[in-house]
Structure 1
Amino acid sequence: MPRPRRDSEILPAKDRMENAFWELLANREYHKITVTDVVREAGVNRNSFYYHYSGLPELADSAIMHIVHNASPTLPTPGSDPDATWRENMTNLLQSPEHRERLDRLALIAGPHSSPELVDSLRDFGRLTIINSLQLPDKLDLQTDLMLDFTIGGMITVLSRWPQLRDSVTLDDLLDEDVAVLAMSLYLSLSRTDLIGYWHRIFRNNLLAAEAAQ
């Protein structure tokens, strides 16, 4: 006689439907996915689906929002070393199966099975997450707003190429000085931290290292 399953072993219906959405999107175009497909994949009934969601677009928004929120990187704290934070984030990204799964799923939104609506949703949630994480004001000045759009656009471009990169990119690639400096510069520019001081420190350390090598 099979052992009864404990409640803790069964994912809530919303989690199962979001997982079903990602599984289906990996195998077919978004506009070809139906509510029937979702409930069948998730093992729930249609009443359960419509109890939680008004339709497939709301499910998609919920799935994207949760992935973006859970994939948010650790941000440097006042007085911390942004380089160390970058190394911590990149190490977690490549060595944590959970982080890689989130990245794989986000890449689906920038992939061939997606739609303009899904990309817009990813862009909106990405912007909101960065604004909240950096505690930016509700009304952004033009420079910050443009930098935010530039950052989100770059992230979506990287996600579109992730299927080709995921098996070849290494930790050393992501810890390359040029990559790290670019990423930290974007962060510092958005957070209005002492960007000039950061650059002065980078150049001073590089100069000292060059002099020591002579």
Structure 2
Amino acid sequence: MTVPVTADLEGGYADTPQGVADTVRAALSLGAAGLNLEDATGQPDRPLLPADGQVDRLRAARAAADALGVPAYLNARTDTYLSGYGDTDADRLDETVRRGRAYLQAGADSVFVPGLTDPPTLRTLRDRLGGPLAVMYAPGGPDAHILLRAGASRVSTGPSLFLAALGHAATLSAQFRERGTLDTPGALPFGTVQGWFSRSPA
């Protein structure tokens, strides 16, 4: 069985569109079926890249994928909601629409807006965006079915599964240290997991 894998390329690991294109080519050469590129900078004083600069990076990513002649789903992430952009909810929504439309025109297949979990706002954004919209599930927030009904094309779990797995591992480690035993109901057989990472017969 072949399972498509999307590569989270963060900001492209490069400062220029050409550098982003090189990163995209490397990811696709390793078999990635999808690419995630974001406009976050990680800098509190300037949390988002300029929209026109991100458009150039997305165009370069799309051109690199097309030149290789391989299908590649390009998911353009904008951190307008995670960063708390703008002074009002209306400002944040307008900027997300502006960036999202530009990113779709630059060649993105969808716009990913983590941090947006309010169904009415999601519905409005999808209508104004005019293209596929991906969001991220937040523990304690609306479930994936509600988000999909509100207009999301894709719902990501983000780091939730990874963090839950780490939390479970930490709990078991503490139990083993204190009691000398491990309670592991639901644990997968070793052979099953090993098979996931083994090469398929030619």
Could you tell me the TM-score, scaled by structure 2's length?
Answer: 0.27
Structure scoring higher RCO (CA < 8 A, sep ≥ 6) equals: 1
